[in-house]
Amino acid sequence: MTTELRGKPVARQLLDRASKTVEDLKKIDCFPTLAIVRAGSDQASVSYENAAIKTMERVGITVESVVFEETVNAEAFLQALRGLNQNKNVHGILVMQPLPGTLSRNDVARCVDPSKDIDGLTPENLGLVVENEKNALVPSTPKAVMALLDHYAIELEGKDVCVIGSSPVVGKPLTLMLLNAEATVSNLHIKTKDTKRYTQEADIVISATGVVELVTADDIKDGAVVIDVGFGYKDGKPVGDVKYDEVAAKASAVTPVPGGVGSITTAVLAEQVTQAAWRQCSE
């Protein structure tokens, strides 16, 4: 019997904890606030922003939206970030991606105060993942995967894990987090000669490529755990990297898309806002 690893219960657990932290913070006159900064109005970005706002409201986090035209001058955008860094009433900063062509991801990442960087955008926070610093503010998607694995008590120590995809936002930090949990990790990607050689023997396969239905039943061993971090569309319907039906018939557990990892990320953001606020307000 295959377990469907749904994201909602994981998100609920994270949000319950975040709500309690918000209550505690308000008792010490700290009103956790997230600034969401966006340039342009990329559709996926706006709808993710709306989801994030709803999640924040649910746990009592105030949201300030700062919106620029897509044609924003880089210096004006960075200046706004510097203002938010200075603003003591703002505890977290979320910069929506993709950034328009006028803005360099590196310049933006280096401009955000690491102590307010609740989506692990800054080099400093990424470096803390290498160091296995437990209290670091880290990229939300890989942390959502780790929260899901933890929630469903999927053991990692000594397990053979394949991560497909090696972006700096998901694949690489996820590889590091899994290594920190003492899994044996293989990071595969577009240049990998033979992915099956790795995936067919893996206890856990995690795909984060955005290539629709990349992972088929033939790619996994019987009883594997399969985590789908992909998101795309097929025949107008949202689907992930995993050919769900056939993989579910062979795997011991699999995340759906939608309703899997993606439904946890804004809860991770909320948790990290409370964590950042706690550190700033108790200083």
Tell me the closest approach of the beta carbon of residue 250 to a second copy, in angstroms: 21
Shortest CB 208 distance to a second copy, Å: 13
165 is in an annotated binding site: yes
- Least separation, in Å, of the C-beta of 110 and a second copy? 9
Among 20, 79, 82, 130, the residue binding a second copy under the rule CB under 8 A is: 130
- Selected from 128, 239, 270, 273, the binder of a second copy by CB under 8 A is 128
Q: Which of 16, 69, 150, 182 binds a second copy (CB under 8 A)?
A: 182
Binding-residue total with a second copy (CB under 8 A) = 39
Q: Which of 39, 185, 215, 269 binds a second copy (CB under 8 A)?
A: 185
- DSSP per-residue string spanning 10-37: HHHHHHHHHHHHHHHHHHTT---EEEEE
First to last CA, the chain: 50
Burial class (CB in 10 A: 0-12, 13-18, 19+), 28: exposed
CB of 233 vs a second copy, minimal distance in Å: 28
Q: Where on the phi/psi map is residue 247: left (φ > 0), alpha (ψ -120 to 50), or beta?
A: alpha
Strands, E assignment, 61-183? 62-68, 92-95, 160-164
Task: Select 58 or 110, whichever has its Cβ closest to a second copy.
Answer: 110
From 178, 250, 249, 251, select the one nearest 208 (Cα to Cα).
178
Give the nearer residue to a second copy in terms of CB position, either 82 or 197. 197
Q: Is 166 annotated as a binding residue?
A: yes
Of 43 and 106, CB closest to a second copy? 106
List Cα–Cα distances, 204 to 148, 220, 252, in angstroms: 13, 9, 10
The β-bridge relationship of strands 204-207 and 160-164 is parallel
Binding of a second copy by 193 (CB under 8 A): yes
Q: Is there a contact between 251 and 224 (Cβ–Cβ < 8 Å)?
A: yes
Interface contacts to a second copy, rule CB under 8 A: 106, 109, 122-133, 157-160, 166, 168, 172-173, 175-176, 179, 182-189, 191-193, 197-198, 201
Known binding-site positions: 165-167, 190
